[in-house]
A = this chain, B = another copy of it.
Amino acid sequence: MFERYLRNVYEKTPLIHCITNYVTVNDVANVLLACGGSPIMADDKEDAVEITTICNGLVINIGTLNKSTIPAMFSTGKKANELSHPVVLDPVGVGASKLRTDTAFKLLEEVKFSVIRGNISEIKTISKGTGTTKGVDADASDAVTEEHLDETIAWAKQLSKKTGAVIAITGAIDIVTDANKAFVLRNGHPMMSKVSGTGCMLAAIIAAYCAANPDNHLEAAAAAVGVFGLAGELAYDRLVKNDGGNSSYRTYLIDAVSQVDAETLKGGIRIESR
């Protein structure tokens, strides 16, 4: 079922415009190439709107948020909306500072997002104005567990209803939901949390999947989350064989994104709907 979303990415090679942080931008570029898409970065307000018009999708990532690039987030977001390009928000560290929180909420008012992807603390902050964001990582106290999974899905559905966006909460257990239907995914590996920028990479992959699959952003986003989780597992197998650490794992993870094909996805995705 999810394989066709993957195939569409490889067939269409969607060009994804990324306004993203300078910490993990290179991995975002290479993971887009790995997944079958193509990256372009531009964040000057005089450059970005034009660049987005030649693209197929947009990611706005507020890590290392800088006042000089905020205007481009708004103008390109609106332009992408006009052009019906999917727009993905990655609200890195929202709740950790006023600038990040205010910018995220203002973006949510002025831009229509196709998908909002964050860790549980970030999405909680967006949903409830609370959450205990510890920098850019989810707080342990927020972790999605089996016990309160249904409860989390319930408020995530509400958030989707309110924002019109597919909500992707990623962590040990991933939730991808719209207002009506949620997918729960259980792929991935804890080692992914030892690489800076796995969330940023995933947000970009989601954008590529949505751009190549305009008819169903919910399932496209779920497929992207499945691919990345599977890549995390394949990368871990390779890591064990090679006695590496987190930097090798980063390399293997991006490699593995290019190695997950339709068959691997079909056989390996651990997904249920709720």
Contact = CB atoms under 8 A, between A and B. Distances in A.
B196 A33 contact: yes
Contact of A63 (B41, B66, B68): B41
Given A33-B194, A33-B195, A245-B254, A68 B65 contact: no
Interface in A4-63: 15, 21-27, 29-30, 33-34, 38-44, 46-47, 50-51, 54-55, 63
Interface residues of A, number: 60
Contacts of A137: 38
A245 B250 contact: no
Interface string A252-272: 111111110000000000000
Interface in A216-267: 244-248, 250-259
A100 B26 CA distance: 21
Contact of A195 (B30, B136, B253): B30
B23 A246 contact: no
Contacts of A43: 64, 66
A254 B251 CA distance: 12
A135 interface: yes
Contacts of A256: 245
Interface stretch (A91-99, A151-159, A165-173, A174-182): A91-99
Contacts of A248: 251-252, 255
Given A30-B250, A46-B99, A247-B253, 11 more contacts: A23-B25, A40-B93, A41-B64, A43-B66, A44-B64, A44-B65, A44-B99, A51-B93, A51-B97, A55-B135, A244-B251
